[in-house]
């Protein structure tokens, strides 16, 4: 009987047994971005039984050169569930589980526990170290891929190499760099084909781990330079300095401050803010992060002013609010403030108000004119 | 080039730089004067390219992860490997 998997079942050394193993395996892709999108397409097409997608981000127009599961009609939609809908339509035999949230210390163990193989396609060091440490403690094979400009790197951690040795991202890089050493989440330029190439290599490693077909990159880090068309394969050794930095228990992992950055702040415009304010006035705080001398003031009850520079130390003043709506003069500082508060209060709803107080004046004028 | 120059040249060590280090050094390859160990090599590179010292990186000798006391010579292939984070 012909099936969609016929051509891989017919591959020498793969066969029905490997296909059955894929069907019984589950894989979680963290980061539905430049690496995650192409990896997801091929993991699903290969026949993994269960595919998870985790990303707290929403689709932006600048994603579309490399995040090829999305179209312009998806702008503003959550990446994980949007990609999951498309994939379940193309691959009805596999089941898809979408997590529209970022991986953090609180959710990393419950989410990762549900899958056999983890693919890390995230975009910042802190998340990468958190995932590495969680995979070590949970005994999950980790396919690691990352890019920088026109270069990429890929490896397999926490999975035995040919000699039975198991390596860890911290063997290569014991500590995450601080943000002033290597900045995270820069809007770096990238040709879509680079994460595309790396993402497909990550999918290949996951298929090999699940089926035992061929040889994986365990114990090695492969570097690819797109501009030079060159490869470099590094043999990783055990690094005691790095291993000492690992948390020893899940409790230790969950209570460690990984200093997770770059949570894309959610945004709202003033019309939405005013509607929310009228519907549920008690649970919201409106936070002005401009300096004390900046004008005009917002004449609204429950508007608190904490200048951005004092926000970290005075954040406890916001502890009782469910939802925090932040504004500044034009919308820049409020985004930064939202990122800071998201790290301090991961469970609160935090929004940066688009366009700041400048946009407020315009919105009020329009609403007035409409009456 | 006289014989002495040629000797000095032949003792130079070729170093490849990856990722953000290649950007900071403005080159994906450089030559440094003869040194005996990885830690001496690192010191030399950071003298020649001070901006590199701010960045954490690993060093490979002949495509194997090296330690501070791993010996190096002109015959070895050296690589400076910073971490990448983009996705």
Domains with residue ranges and CATH for chain A: 6-255 (3.40.50.720), 266-370 (3.40.250.10)
| Structural domain includes residue B24 | yes
Residue A371 confidence (pLDDT) above 50 = no
Interface of B with A (CB under 8 A): 16, 18-20, 23, 28, 54-56, 58, 60, 63-65, 79, 81-87
Confidence of residue A339 (pLDDT cuts 50, 70, 90): confident
| Structural domain includes residue B46 | yes
Report the residue of chain A nearest B52, measured CA to CA: A181
Share of chain B above pLDDT 90, in %: 83
| Structural domain includes residue B65 | yes
pLDDT digits 0-9 by tens, A154-205: 999 999 999 999 999 999 999 998 766 776 645 578 999 999 999 999 999 9
The Cα of B33 is separated from the nearest Cα of chain A by a number of Å equal to 24
Residue A127 confidence (pLDDT) above 90 = yes
Tell me the chain B residues in contact with residue A219 when contact means C-beta distances shorter than 8 Å.
Answer: none
Confidence of residue A336 (pLDDT cuts 50, 70, 90): confident
Q: What mean pLDDT value characterizes chain A? A: 91
For residue A267, the model assigns a pLDDT of 83
Put simply, the answer to whether A151 touches B84 (Cβ < 8 Å) is yes
Three-class secondary structure assignment of chain A: CCCCCHHHHCCCCCHHHHHHHHHCCEEEEECCCCCHHHHHHHHHHHCCCEEEEECCCECCHHHCCCCCCCCHHHCCCEHHHHHHHHHHHHCCCCEEEEECCCCCCCCHHHHHHCCCEEEECCCCHHHHHHHHHHHHHHCCEEEEEEEECCEEEEEEECCCCCCCCCCCHHHHCCCCCCCCCCCCCCCCCCCCHHHHHHHHHHHHHHHHHHHCCCCCCECEEEEEECCCCEEEEEECCCCHHHHHCCCCCHHHHHHCCCCCCCCCCEEECHHHHHHHHHHCHHHEEEEECCCCCCCCCCCCCCEEECCHHHHHHHHHHHCCCCEEEEECCCCHHHHHHHHHHHHHCCCCEEEEECCHHHHHHHHHHHHHHHC
The dihedrals phi and psi of A133, each to the nearest 5 degrees, come to -65, -40
Share of chain A above pLDDT 70, in %: 94
Cα(A48)–Cα(A321) distance, integer angstroms: 43
What mean pLDDT is predicted for residues A37-47? 98
| Structural domain includes residue B86 | no
The Cα of A227 is separated from the nearest Cα of chain B by a number of Å equal to 11
Residue A262 confidence (pLDDT) above 70 = no
| Structural domain includes residue B60 | yes
Cα(A153)–Cα(A205) distance, integer angstroms: 13
ipTM of predicted assembly, 2 dp: 0.91
Characterise A269 by phi-psi region: left (phi > 0), alpha (psi -120 to 50), beta (else): beta
Q: What is the token pair recorded at A17?
A: 């047994």
CATH of the domain at B53: 3.10.20.30
pLDDT digits 0-9 by tens, A297-331: 887 777 899 998 889 889 999 988 888 999 999 88
The Cα of B8 is separated from the nearest Cα of chain A by a number of Å equal to 28
| Structural domain includes residue B33 | yes
Characterise A34 by phi-psi region: left (phi > 0), alpha (psi -120 to 50), beta (else): alpha
Residue B47 confidence (pLDDT) above 70 = yes
What mean pLDDT is predicted for residues B25-53? 93
B50: DSSP letter: G
Among the partner-chain residues A35, A125, A237, the one whose CB lies closest to the CB of B64 is: A237
Range of the domain at B73: 8-81
Mutation test of the interface with chain B: which of A125, A130, A148, A243, choosing the one with the most B Cβ atoms within 10 A?
A148
Give the number of A-B residue pairs with CB atoms closer than 8 Å: 90
Domain count, chain B: 1
| Structural domain includes residue B19 | yes
| Structural domain includes residue B87 | no
């Amino acid at each position: 009987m012909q099936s969609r998997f016929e051509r891989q079942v017919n591959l020498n050394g793969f066969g029905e047994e490997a296909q059955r193993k894929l069907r019984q395996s589950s894989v979680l892709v963290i980061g539905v971005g430049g690496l995650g999108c192409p990896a997801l397409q091929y993991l699903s097409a290969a026949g993994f039984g269960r595919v998870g997608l985790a990303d707290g981000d929403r689709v932006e127009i600048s994603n579309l050169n490399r995040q090829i599961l999305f179209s312009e009609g998806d702008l503003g939609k959550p990446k994980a569930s949007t990609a999951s809908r498309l994939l379940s339509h193309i691959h009805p035999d596999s089941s898809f589980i979408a997590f529209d949230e970022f991986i953090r210390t609180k959710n990393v163990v419950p989410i990762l526990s549900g899958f056999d193989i983890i693919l890390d396609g995230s975009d910042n060091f802190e998340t990468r170290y958190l995932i590495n440490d969680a995979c070590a403690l949970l005994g999950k094979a980790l396919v690691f891929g990352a890019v920088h400009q026109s270069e990429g790197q890929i490896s397999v951690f926490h999975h035995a190499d040919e000699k039975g040795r198991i390596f860890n991202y911290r063997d290569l890089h014991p500590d995450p760099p601080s943000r002033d050493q290597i900045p995270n989440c820069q809007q770096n330029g990238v040709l879509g084909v680079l994460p595309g190439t790396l993402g497909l290599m990550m999918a290949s490693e996951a298929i090999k781990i699940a089926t035992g077909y061929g040889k994986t990159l365990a114990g090695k880090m492969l570097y690819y330079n797109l501009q030079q068309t060159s490869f470099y394969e590094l043999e990783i050794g055990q690094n005691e300095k790095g291993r000492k930095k690992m948390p020893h228990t899940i409790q230790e992992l969950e209570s460690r401050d990984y200093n997770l950055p770059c949570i894309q702040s959610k945004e709202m415009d003033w019309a939405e803010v005013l509607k929310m304010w009228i519907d549920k006035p008690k649970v919201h705080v409106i936070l002005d992060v401009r300096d004390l001398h900046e004008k005009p003031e917002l004449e609204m009850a429950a508007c608190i002013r904490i200048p951005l520079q004092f926000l970290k130390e005075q954040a406890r003043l916001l502890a009782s609010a469910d939802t925090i709506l932040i504004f500044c003069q034009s919308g820049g500082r409020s985004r930064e403030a939202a990122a800071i508060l998201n790290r301090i209060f991961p469970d609160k709803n935090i929004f940066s108000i688009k366009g700041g107080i400048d946009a407020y004046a315009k919105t009020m004028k329009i609403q007035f004119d409409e009456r | 080039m006289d014989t002495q120059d040629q000797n000095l040249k032949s003792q130079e060590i070729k170093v490849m730089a990856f990722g953000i280090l290649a950007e900071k050094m403005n080159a994906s390859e450089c030559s440094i004067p003869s040194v005996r160990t990885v830690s001496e090599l690192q010191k030399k590179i950071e003298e020649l390219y001070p901006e590199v010292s701010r960045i954490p990186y690993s060093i490979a000798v002949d495509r194997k992860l090296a330690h501070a006391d791993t010996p190096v010579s002109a015959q070895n292939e050296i690589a400076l490997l910073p971490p990448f984070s983009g996705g």
